[in-house]
Amino acid sequence: MSDFKYNNGFGNHFESEAIPQTLPSRGNAPQKVARGLYAEQISGTAFTAPRSKNQRSWLYRIRPSVNHQPFKPYESAKRVISSFHPFSPNIVPTPQQLRWDPLNVSDAGDVDFVDGLTTLAGAGDSQTKNGLAIHIYCATKSMEKRAFYNSDGDMLIVPQQVALIIKTEFGRLHVPPLHIAVVQRGLKFKVDLAEPADATRPARGFICETFKGHFELPDLGPIGANGLANPKDFEYPVAAFEDTNEDWTVINKFMGSFYTFQQDHSPFDVVAFSGNYVPYRYDLLKFNTIGSISYDHPDPSIFTVLTCPTDSPGTAVCDFVIFPPRWLVAEDTFRPPYFHRNCMSEFMGNICGVYDAKAEGFLPGGASLHNMNSAHGPDAETFEKASNAQLKPAKVGEGSMSFMFESAYQLATTKWAIEESGKLQQDYWKAWSGLKKHFSG
Ligand SMILES: O=C(O)Cc1cc(O)ccc1O
Ligand SMILES: [Fe+2]
């Protein structure tokens, strides 16, 4: 969309002014900011985090964020679960391989992004900054004069159906399906729908909320300086502000509960900003997909777009991995994903098209979870086909896009996901029951 402007480059230190010459010419906090603005810092890491990890931005705004009414409890976001202890009342843990038909929250009524948030699975808790939660959102309307910020974690948002306009304190992001957005801890935003939506076709998508750290680009090792998601393709908003005296509701997720306050002006009143703690979007079709040009099926880590690391090297709170259209050329190779048992948990979602490990049943808007150590792999039909296919170069996933949130944590599923959604496929296990014995002794 041409009325959206961006600055590019993953993790850059950006400067953006909606009115020229608003940013301080020296330093961050002059005695008086230009045009009577207030200076406000928002930090995304501890002040003393190493420079290579340190993230913060300076906002030059019409009123400081603290200029608001007292916090009150917010009751409407009832579908978000924040306690993932396996014995918690809303948790139904299971090692069973799980798959869901396209998810919806049609019983939630006419809801916006916040009230339609519904938790599927998670681990850990925000209080000790440990773990993650996986949600879907389903929205039939825009947030209008409601803004949200999450004190519990960063949110990686994967729209599956209906384009979003995410208005943030830093400016606007247009995020249609096949794009993702990351809105970090503490940053205020609202989600509007760029297309008509209703209960039969809501704005729908998946969210990974990480309680610790921030998403980074994966190291490339021997791949070299280029490849996978290129830094230049990450797009950041430019400053845009509203100078209004209307009533706004701000909703905050804090320690797993929701709170709200009122204020008599727009929270999107930032005239200029500088810094490297800024929300962003990325077009998944710009991913440079790398694969085997000799033999064997490489591990899916080669498809990592972003990784949110734990303290253990190479081990992620969440790797965000995608399966874009790509060529398969490997010789003498079983080309679809191999049978495996992973010490990581794999939550997958289908954005569009057909996923190459599953001939059917994994539908756009649908999801699957193969928890830690639970065996999985191609279904019987895919196995038979791929074992006998003539291995010519072949394009897979034309018009398709699936993704995976791969996590080092055991994922505890919610009661809603297992018992209440009505979308859990009871016979998913049968995908593998047709695998025949081929052993001939
Ligand atoms: O299970 C899945 O479908 C995801 C996956 C894909 C792949 O190419 C290799 C391993 C893996 O877990
Ligand atoms: Fe897998």
The pLDDT tens digits for 90-112 are 999 999 999 999 999 878 889 99
Task: State yes or no: is 13 an active-site residue.
Answer: no
Three-state SS for 376? strand
Q: Per-residue pLDDT averaged across 33-50, rounded?
A: 98
pLDDT for res 65 = 98
Residue with tokens 């969309």: 1
Q: Answer yes or no: is the C-beta of 406 below 6 A from any ligand 1 atom.
A: no
pLDDT for res 2 = 67
For the chain, where do the domains classified as CATH 2.60.120.10 start and end?
Answer: 6-284, 289-425
Mean pLDDT over the full length of the chain: 96
Task: State yes or no: is 174 an active-site residue.
Answer: no
CA distance 352 to 137: 17
Considering every ligand atom shown, identify the ligand nearest to the alpha carbon of residue 403 and give its number.
1
Ligand 1 mean position, distance from CA 404 (Å): 9
Q: Which of 331, 340, 360, 419 is catalytic?
A: 340
Q: Answer yes or no: is the C-beta of 326 below 6 A from any ligand 1 atom.
A: no
pLDDT for res 249 = 98
pLDDT tens digits, residue range 208-236?
A: 999 999 999 999 999 999 999 999 999 99
Residue nearest to atom 6 of ligand 1 (CA): 337
CA distance 135 to 121: 7
Q: Which residue among 296, 323, 334, 339 is best mutated to probe the pocket of ligand 1, counting the most ligand atoms within 8 A of its Cβ?
A: 323
Residue with tokens 């750290």: 213
Q: How confident is the model at residue 166 (pLDDT cuts 50, 70, 90)?
A: very high
Three-state SS for 8? strand
Ligand 1 mean position, distance from CA 337 (Å): 5
At residue 201, φ and ψ (nearest 5 deg) are -140, 75
DSSP for residue 430: G
Q: Which of 135, 179, 265, 370 is catalytic?
A: 370
Considering every ligand atom shown, identify the ligand nearest to the alpha carbon of residue 402 and give its number.
1
Ligand 2 mean position, distance from CA 309 (Å): 19
User: Dmax of the chain from CA atoms?
Assistant: 84
Q: Per-residue pLDDT averaged across 318-331, rounded?
A: 98
Q: Answer yes or no: is the C-beta of 112 below 6 A from any ligand 1 atom.
A: no
Residue with tokens 């825009």: 142
DSSP for residue 162: S
Contacting residues for 214 by C-beta, under 8 A, at least 6 apart: 44, 45, 55, 154, 184, 308
Distance, first Cα to last Cα, the chain: 62
Contact 82, 256 (CB under 8 A): yes
Q: Which of 297, 381, 384, 420 is catalytic?
A: 297
Ligand 1 mean position, distance from CA 357 (Å): 8
- Nearest atom, ligand 1, residue 376 CA: 1
To 5 degrees, how large is the angle CA 112–CA 152–CA 102? Answer: 45
Which string of b and e fits 276-309 if b means at least 16 CB within 10 Å? bbbbbbbebebbeeeeeeeeeeeebeebbbbbbb
Q: Which CATH number fits domain 289-425: 2.60.120.10, 2.40.110.10, 3.60.40.10, 3.40.190.10?
A: 2.60.120.10
Ligand 1 mean position, distance from CA 63 (Å): 49
Task: State yes or no: is 376 an active-site residue.
Answer: yes
CA distances from 396 to 84, 98, 271 (A): 37, 24, 46
Q: Which amino acid is at 257?
A: S
Domain made up of 6-284: CATH architecture: Sandwich (2.60)
CA distances from 163 to 147, 191, 343, 358, 397 (A): 18, 10, 35, 27, 22
Cβ atoms < 10 Å from Cβ of 3: 6
Task: Give me the residues near ligand 2 (ion), CB cutoff below 5 Å.
Answer: 346
Task: State yes or no: is 179 an active-site residue.
Answer: no
To 5 degrees, how large is the angle CA 347–CA 202–CA 182? Answer: 50
Q: How confident is the model at residue 389 (pLDDT cuts 50, 70, 90)?
A: very high
